[in-house]
Structure formats: C-alpha cells, structure tokens
C-alpha cells in the first residue's frame, strides 16, 4: 500500500471476567498505544479502537459462581478495565462494549447479510449435552484432554497449552464444567461458516501476499492451520447470554462470541464516528485505509482466518494489512494465570506505584514478547527503572535543567562557534526520528524504545565529555554552546518519548516550556453523578512535531525560558520490590494449599493388626550425613529399650546438627533393613507440612520419657 489516507488500529477486546494484568499490556495494549501515538505525532488520521468483550460462556460461569447475573459481571469489570486503561494512558479514540445496542445491531446485520447471501451451512449435528444441567454445553463449558498435546485441562474451543483451536467434540474424556458429569451427544441445529470454501483466497492473501511483511510467529501459525485443511466452523451456540441469532428457527441460540467479538471493532468505530461527527465507513471500507489488529498469539486464528473470511464474504470491508501478534509474557518464571492469581494486576499496580505508569510501560516494552515468550521479574523491573530511566534518561534531563537554571536563570543561552563534536551531535539528533520511525513501522517496539534511550545516552556522553561544570571556570562562552546543544537533545527527547513514555513526555515538555494542546478533565455534577468531560486548551505555539526534529535547525531557541528541575523518575527501593515478591509468594502458597491432594485412606485393618505396631518415644543422640547420599541421615536413637541405629531419609529437610536432642516417635519392631551398608533398626514417624517440608510426629509434653509406648 502507498501512503495510507487513514489508519484504523484495533486492540483485542479484553474479556470482562476480570481486570487487566501485565500479560495483556505487554501482548496487546502497550504496543498498540505506542503505534497509535506515533502515527498521531506524524500527522496521520487515526482511529484507535477497542471495547469490552462481554459475551460467551466464561461470563455465565462466573455469574453462576457469584450468584449474580451476567450483566452484573460485565458491568463491574467493564468499569474497572476502562478506568485502568485511562489511568495507564492507553489513548483509545473509543472504548465501547459488546453489550451495547449499536453492537448488537451491527453484528446482527452482518450475520443477516451473510445468511441472505447463502454463506452459511445449516446443519443438525450431535453436540455435547449435560443431562444433569439440562443444557447443551458450549465450548468453554467442556474440559478434557487435548488430542494434539495431551494437556488434560484443555477447553472445548482451544488448548491453552499448545494453542490448538478445537471443537468440543474433539476432546478426549470430556467433562462438563457445570456439573463435572460426562456429557452425552444430542442433536441440535447450528449455522456454520465454511472456511474450506475460502481456502484459496486465504492462501493467496496471506501465504503469498504477506509472506514477507507478517511476523514469522503469525505467518507460521496461520500457514499451519491452512496446511491442516480448513473445515466449517459453527457461528452459533446454544446459550441464553449473547446476541440472539436473527433468523427464524434459531430460538434459544446466540451468535458465537468469536463471531460477534471482532465485529465489536466495527461497532465501536461507528460509536466513535457518531460522537465526533465523522463518517465511519472510510475507516473500514476505503482501500486507502490501513487496518492493523494488535492481539496476543492465542487470537491469531480468529483475526487472521475467521474474521477476514467474514469480512470477505460480506463483500464491502477491507482486510487487515498486518496482525502483529505478540507471544506470551510469563511472570517470575511461571505462566500468568488469572485463576491462580499469578499475575500483576493493573489496578493494584496503579495503587502500589502511583504516578509510575511509564516505568511499567518502559519495562514491558523493553522485555516485550515480540518473537518469543519472555519473562517479567520484579528485579528486572527495578533495574530498568533505576539503571536506565533514572540513571540515563532522568539524569541527563536533570543535569541539563539544573545547569541551565544555575548559569542562565533558566534562559536558553546563545550558542557561539560550534565545534566538530557539537555539529556531529546536532546532526545525530536529526537521525533519531527516522531510525525510531523505521522500527515502529516494522512493529519492533523494543528496538524503537532502545533507540530513544540511545539518544539519552548520547546526551549523557556529550555532557560527560564536554564537562560544562569544569569549563565554566575558564571559558564561559564555550559553556553557552554546550548547554544550547544539550537543550536541543532534551527537546528532541520530549517529543520522541511520547509514544513510549507519555506521562514523562508531558512533564518534560512542561519543564522545558514547550507549549502543546492539552486535554483538561472537568468533573460535572449531573443527576447526582460525577461525569468526567474533556475540553481542549489551545496553546500559544505549536508543539514540536515528529518531522520537525529532522527538519528544524533549532528546536529550543535562544532566549526561551525553561522551568525549574523536577525529577522525572524516582529510584525504586528494595523494600517496594520485596512487597510485590511477597504477594506472589503468598499466591503460590495459597495455590499449593488449594491444590494439595490428601492421599486416600488405605485398606481397613483390624485392631489386632494395629496392636502389632510397637511405637515408642525416643530421643536422637547422634546424627551424621550418610556419605554420597543426598537424602539420608544416620541416627543413634535412645528408644528407652536400647540405643539403636536408624537410617532416615530426612537430610533434605534437616541438618545433622539440628536433629540431635529431638524427641521422636519410633516404630521399634520394624524388621531391620540394610541401606548403603548400614543396618537400619526401625523407622521414625514423619509427615509433610503445606510447603512439602518434613516434620517430626513427636510428643511435645516434656514429662514424656523415652520408652513409653504410643497406642
């Protein structure tokens, strides 16, 4: 495509059964926001679209568990998610929801258009049915073993372990998620989208047309799906929560959530266009519009095969130019899990780290899973902040502003003759917009952010090499030039940082006195509700544009007044990080307790069997590690009957020194057994605590003496 007239950027609709966590941010929303902000800075017409995905089975499951309606669930989490995005600086032009009337109308219209064109196959087939719950089981109401990878916790629509898209009837040993019962097969009528009919189109459009410009992980997954052979896919479900299927004979059925959710991008665009007085159609139907979907890798099939087939079959819509899906972000070495509370939740982060949105944005971008799964750790987060944002970016800006105020009362000085290093530095500034643009436009956001930091590094090196704090004592005119050049770097950073660090960019522009249009929020009281409204404050002179940095000779003119120094970033101490690590440790312990299985009772014995056991109170007198044995301690135990040797597999839980003097319970009439050449004459009774550590089963009354029987 030549230079597009406009861009439609979509970010995957977050599912409203919980808040946003860092995996969502790293996979979708931060890269999408970087891209949208960059395009606006470069003067493009942009519609950045999103909204809450509010239909489907997980919502109904959560509602049943909580004893509320599905609408209650989606209303709660839609509000939480929307507020979190706003506070985090995700600059959507519109954030809608799929329960909105305009979405129901749009999805129904598209279904009806395809239905009238004969694009669907109507079939009566056998679907899984829960006799106890008296209902058909939609995909997410079924769990079982994945036929591809053997994961025993796969869902009926997708295996989250290997990413394979499934039908519920594909699962091995399926179970109902409602009752736990084994479902039966029962006939029901549904409408199917024949993906196989569009196989030739998909091969030409993707496998040939996007072989070079789509990310390998996206292209590879799509190719694998097509190579396996496409099959008809149901677009309706037996469910009472969702958009009713708008044809006769479809009572009690709704549109499958993966049919209706992507259409949410279109309905959200309609909502935005109506609000701002624009025509929505060019953003979805004009060939000069560039459509880009930002998603996680678990949504590739739906955005690269199913949704494009729907749009192609409808006939009037454009197709995505790119779908730059990211891989998954793990947390401290483990897969993020909502159900196990193994996550960093955005609402909690915003409370624990107030006014530090950009630190998380920076850390997630620096470690983004663009080509492979990556790992977020709190120690890396701390290091990124302290060693990069504080020590490089913040340090440079602070030194420039402090020295300008100290030497010139905050007025940009007149430069004198430029040295070779000055000219090279000023020329280097002009190269950064194009370098960063090239990375962003290829969806390499990690690389782009690294180039931004390289400009800050350039500034630090320039000051360190030129040493204005020393030169001021011998050559004041030279320092004027040094500080002028340094301030040009600072001005470039103020603009170039906006896509990555929007809050920092706004603060830095304020410090440097760069005027720009600001959105100011007012709170209006209406019908006893607080309603946030926004209006534009027109500035006295235009902000620097992205292109200005490459073309203008002067970014911050001599005589311009800047403000006082303010810290852009603050050091994050070990204590703050330890609190977050402790939270995760607590989650892990809670999960272990919740998932701990108690061994079933052994076969019943008689009282006579029990009386054969001779258990005595004893005391460990000596202990030593068994040579070349990881688990074994050799103990000398006073049983009250005698002093005997017992070999015990407790060395991974206790040292030899700490067990000496311990009172223990000993099974004394166990037949002797030789272990590594040492005869063991008995057994010490042990159990495990919640953390899997061995614990002595021992009498705690000090008056109990060795040799007393336990019965």
- Over 60: is that where the pLDDT of 538 sits? no
Instruction: Please determine, for residue 527, whether its predicted confidence score (pLDDT) is greater than 70.
Output: no
Q: What is the mean pLDDT of residues 20-38?
A: 97
User: Whose CA is closest to 627, among 608, 609, 651, 606?
Assistant: 651
Residue among 15, 126, 144 nearest 156 (CA): 144
One DSSP character per residue, 509-550 reads HHHHT----EEEEEEEEETTEEEEEEEEE--SSPPPPTTHHH
Question: At 593, is the pLDDT very low, low, confident or very high (cuts 50, 70, 90)?
Answer: low
* pLDDT at 188 exceeding the cut of 60: yes
Smallest CA-to-CA distance from 592 within 688, 690, 689, 687 is with: 690
Highest mean pLDDT of the ranges 54-58, 480-484, 707-711: 480-484
Residue 218 confidence (pLDDT) above 90: yes
Contacting residues for 34 by C-beta, under 8 A, at least 6 apart: 365, 440, 445, 448, 499, 500
Question: Using an 8 Å Cβ cutoff, are 663 and 616 in contact?
Answer: no
pLDDT, one tens digit per residue, over 676-708 is 888 999 999 988 766 667 888 876 666 677 877
**pLDDT category, 163, cuts 50, 70, 90?**
confident
What is the reported pLDDT for 596?
Answer: 57
User: Of residues 570 and 527, which shows the higher confidence score?
Assistant: 570
**In the predicted model, what is the mean pLDDT of residues 651-661?**
88
Q: What is the pLDDT of residue 591?
A: 65
369: three-class secondary structure by DSSP: coil
For the chain, the maximum distance between any two Cα atoms, rounded to a whole number of angstroms, is: 105
- Tens digit of pLDDT for each residue in 436-481? 999 999 999 999 999 999 999 999 999 999 999 999 999 999 999 9
Q: What is the pLDDT of residue 523?
A: 34
Model confidence, pTM: 0.80
- The predicted model gives 247-253 an average pLDDT of 91
User: What percent of the chain is predicted at pLDDT more than 70?
Assistant: 93
Query: Which range has the worst mean pLDDT, 170-184, 321-335, 504-518, 576-590?
Result: 504-518
> 522 pLDDT exceeds 90?
no
- Could you give the percent of the chain with pLDDT greater than 90? 71
DSSP secondary structure letter of residue 646 = E
Lowest mean pLDDT among 52-61, 442-451, 501-510, 575-584: 52-61
More confident residue, 108 or 129: 108
Predicted pLDDT of residue 700: 66
pLDDT band at 399 (very low <50, low <70, confident <90, very high): very high
Does residue 517 register a pLDDT over 50?
A: no
Query: For 239-264, what is the mean pLDDT?
Result: 93
Model confidence at 607, pLDDT cuts 50, 70, 90, reads confident
Cβ atoms 545, 399 nearer than 8 A: no
| pLDDT confidence of residue 20 | 95
Burial class (CB in 10 A: 0-12, 13-18, 19+), 186: middle
266 or 668: which leads in pLDDT: 266
Pick from 161, 144, 162: which is nearest to 153 by CA?
144
From 62-71, 467-476, 609-618, the region with the lowest mean pLDDT = 609-618
Q: What is the pLDDT of residue 701?
A: 67
Task: Tell me the C-alpha distance between 157 and 166, whole Å.
Answer: 5
Residue in the structure block whose two tokens are 């494009």: 308
pLDDT at position 697, please? 81
Q: Confidence band (pLDDT; 50, 70, 90) for 80?
A: very high
Looking at every residue in the chain, the average pLDDT score rounds to 90
Residue 524: pLDDT band (50, 70, 90) is very low
């Amino acid at each position: 495509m030549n230079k597009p007239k406009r861009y439609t950027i979509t970010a995957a609709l977050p599912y409203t059964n919980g808040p946003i966590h860092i995996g969502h941010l790293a996979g979708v929303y931060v890269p999408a926001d970087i891209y949208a902000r960059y395009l606006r800075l470069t003067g493009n017409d942009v519609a950045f679209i999103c909204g809450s995905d509010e239909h489907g089975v997980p919502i109904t499951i959560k509602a049943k568990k909580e004893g509320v309606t599905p609408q209650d669930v989606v209303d709660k989490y839609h509000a939480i998610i929307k507020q979190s995005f706003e506070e985090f600086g995700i600059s959507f032009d519109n954030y809608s929801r799929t329960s909105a009337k305009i979405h129901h109308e749009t999805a129904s219209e598209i279904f009806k258009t395809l239905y009238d064109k004969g694009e669907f196959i109507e079939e009566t087939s056998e679907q899984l049915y829960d006799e106890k719950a008296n209902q058909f089981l939609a995909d997410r109401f079924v769990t079982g073993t994945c036929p591809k990878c053997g994961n025993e916790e796969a869902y009926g629509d997708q295996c989250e372990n290997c990413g394979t898209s499934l039908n519920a009837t594909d699962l091995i040993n399926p179970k109902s998620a409602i009752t736990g019962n084994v479902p039966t097969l029962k006939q029901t009528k549904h409408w199917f989208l024949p993906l196989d009919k569009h196989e030739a189109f998909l091969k030409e459009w993707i496998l040939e047309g996007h072989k070079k410009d789509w990310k390998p992980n996206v292209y590879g997954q799509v190719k694998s799906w097509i190579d396996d052979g496409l099959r008809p896919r149901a677009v309706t479900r037996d469910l009472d929560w969702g958009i009713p299927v708008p044809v006769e004979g479809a009572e009690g059925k709704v549109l499958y959530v993966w049919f209706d959710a992507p259409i949410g991008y279109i309905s959200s665009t309609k909502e935005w266009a109506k609000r701002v007085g624009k025509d929505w159609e060019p953003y979805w139907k004009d060939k000069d519009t560039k459509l880009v979907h930002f998603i996680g890798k678990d949504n590739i099939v739906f955005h690269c095969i199913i949704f494009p087939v729907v749009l192609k079959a409808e006939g009037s819509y454009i197709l995505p130019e790119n779908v730059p899906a990211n891989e998954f972000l793990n947390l401290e070495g483990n897969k993020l899990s909502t159900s196990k509370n193994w996550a960093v939740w955005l609402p909690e982060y915003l409370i624990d780290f107030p006014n530090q949105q950009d630190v998380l944005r920076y850390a997630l971008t620096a470690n983004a899973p663009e080509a492979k799964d990556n790992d977020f750790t709190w120690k890396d987060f701390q290091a990124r902040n302290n060693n990069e944002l504080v020590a490089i970016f913040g340090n440079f800006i602070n030194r420039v502003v402090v020295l300008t105020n100290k030497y010139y009362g905050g007025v940009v000085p007149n430069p004198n003759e430029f040295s070779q290093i000055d000219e090279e530095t000023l020329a280097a500034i002009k190269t950064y917009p194009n370098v960063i643009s090239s990375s962003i436009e290829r969806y390499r956001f990690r690389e782009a952010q690294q180039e931004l930091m390289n400009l800050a590094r350039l500034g630090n090196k320039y000051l360190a090499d030129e040493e204005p704090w020393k030169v001021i004592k011998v050559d004041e005119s030279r320092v004027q030039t040094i500080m002028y050049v340094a301030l040009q770097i600072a001005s470039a950073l103020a603009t170039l940082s906006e896509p990555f660090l929007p809050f920092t960019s706004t603060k830095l522009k304020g410090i440097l006195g760069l005027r720009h249009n600001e959105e100011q929020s007012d709170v209006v009281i209406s019908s006893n509700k607080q309603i946030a409204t926004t209006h534009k404050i027109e500035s006295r002179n235009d902000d620097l544009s992205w292109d200005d940095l490459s073309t203008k000779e002067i970014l911050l003119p001599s005589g311009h007044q800047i403000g006082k120094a303010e810290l852009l970033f603050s050091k994050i101490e070990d204590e703050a990080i330890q609190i977050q690590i402790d939270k995760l440790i607590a989650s892990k312990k809670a999960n272990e307790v919740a998932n701990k299985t108690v061994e079933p009772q052994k076969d019943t014995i008689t009282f006579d069997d029990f009386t054969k056991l001779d258990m005595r109170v004893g005391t460990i007198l000596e202990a030593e590690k068994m040579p070349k044995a990881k688990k074994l301690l050799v103990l000398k135990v006073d049983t009250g009957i005698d002093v005997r040797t017992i070999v015990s597999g407790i060395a991974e839980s206790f040292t030899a020194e700490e067990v000496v003097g311990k009172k223990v319970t000993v099974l004394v009439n166990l037949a002797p057994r030789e272990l590594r050449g040492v005869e063991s004459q008995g057994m010490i009774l042990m159990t495990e605590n919640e953390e899997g550590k061995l614990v002595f089963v021992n009498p705690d009354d000090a008056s109990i003496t060795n040799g007393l029987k336990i019965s």
